Amino acid sequence: MSDLVTDAIASLTPYESGKPIEELARELGVHDAIKLASNENPLGPSPKAIEAARAALADVNRYPDAAAYRLREKLAAFHHVAMDEIIHGNGSNELIELLIRTFTTERDHIVYAWPSFVVYRLASLAHNTPFTAVPLKDHAHDLEAMAAAVTPQTRLMFVANPNNPTGTHVGRESLRRLLTSVPSDVIIVLDEAYIQYADADDFPDSLELRSTRERLVTLRTFSKIYGLASFRVGYAIGPRRLIDYMNRVRAPFNVGAVSQAAAMAALDDTDHVEKSVRINREQRAVVSDGFRELGLDVAPSQTNFVFVDAGRDGREVYDALLRLGVIVRPMAPGTSFLRVTVGTEAENQRCLAAFKKVLSS
């Protein structure tokens, strides 16, 4: 027991986000490294978002609108919900933390899947809330096991749909069953960071299932399809009462004015979103087929990344790819899995060629 922090905080390791490309290039003598590690939009942001951000720079001596009024007004119209059913966050990451801080204590309990987005675990540990991490089944959420893991203490359940890092999804009927079977006092959080990339016929939009359950919160982000990861804008949609409590805990100026301006413009640029979806769909197939041709197993992806079984120690493959200037995301030590973001056509070809080289050595 540390004299400074809880055992849970002492057990944490900082979020592994990978080295800056320039740093790696310097260390490895690679000058054209490509980063396929963080599921960003390889096409970049909408030019209209950049323009809006530039225009907003003139006023950065002022604090941003603490309530993000205009952004929430726009989002409310976009999603056909009320403004007070939306809360903005410094990325959806902040909203995950806010949910845990607002609604749980060390006497409560959280359920999420494993492996899934690592912040569910980090934030639960940091807040000292006990949790159950329910193993995936065939790389996908095992909703029955998650429902069975609920106890009278459970306050929150996180479901990433589609899931990170596996890219798999939960279908509409299974989700509906979960929403109607889990006790009504549990807040179920549908983290839909990658929803725009999903194209399965049975892919559910949790916003259309709001009538099935009061305690349902949807998380969305501008970091993925909208290409604004660095601006840190996410939002949650949920019942007024929950959003109101989260707002009491939220830091007042959590999303900067430049970010708010960029997000509003990005939301309007539907052409950029459609182009990003189309190119990702084509290239996701190229990457998945390319891995299969190399004899590797790939999980079915509904996202802008592919979860691949390298068939040998994943960290070793990661290191070898790194030396070829291809940065992907390794999974837990001792496993053979890697998560590879779908990049541009040229990046994907280079990535597949690097895999081929590494696997044949």
Ligand X SMILES: Cc1ncc(COP(=O)(O)O)c(C=O)c1O
Give the binding site for ligand X (CB under 6 A): 39, 91-93, 117, 160, 164, 191, 193, 221, 223, 229, 234
| Nearer of residues 44 and 183 to ligand X, judged by Cβ | 44
Q: Tell me how far, at minimum, the Cβ of 165 lies from ligand X, in Å.
A: 8
| Nearer of residues 160 and 266 to ligand X, judged by Cβ | 160
| Nearer of residues 91 and 227 to ligand X, judged by Cβ | 91
| Nearer of residues 218 and 288 to ligand X, judged by Cβ | 218
Task: At 279, list the tokens.
Answer: 């190119």
Q: Looking up tokens 């119209």, which residue turns up?
A: 77
Quick check: 125 and 170 in contact, CB under 8 A?
A: no
Q: Tell me how far, at minimum, the Cβ of 188 lies from ligand X, in Å.
A: 15
Task: At 51, list the tokens.
Answer: 């323009």
> Measured between alpha carbons, how far is 354 from 342 in angstroms, rounded to an integer?
14
Q: Tell me how far, at minimum, the Cβ of 191 lies from ligand X, in Å.
A: 5
> Measured between alpha carbons, how far is 59 from 123 in angstroms, rounded to an integer?
33
Q: Tell me how far, at minimum, the Cβ of 48 lies from ligand X, in Å.
A: 20
Q: Are strands 305-309 and 337-341 parallel, antiparallel or unpaired?
A: antiparallel
Which residue's CB atom is positioned nearest to ligand X?
91
Q: Tell me how far, at minimum, the Cβ of 312 lies from ligand X, in Å.
A: 26
Residue 351's identity, in one-letter code, is C
Task: At 267, list the tokens.
Answer: 């939301």
Handedness of CA 251, 256, 261, 263 (dihedral sign): negative
β-bridge mates for residue 4, sequence order: none
| Nearer of residues 72 and 358 to ligand X, judged by Cβ | 72
Residue 79: phi, psi to the nearest 5? -100, 0
Q: Tell me how far, at minimum, the Cβ of 166 lies from ligand X, in Å.
A: 11
| Nearer of residues 164 and 259 to ligand X, judged by Cβ | 164
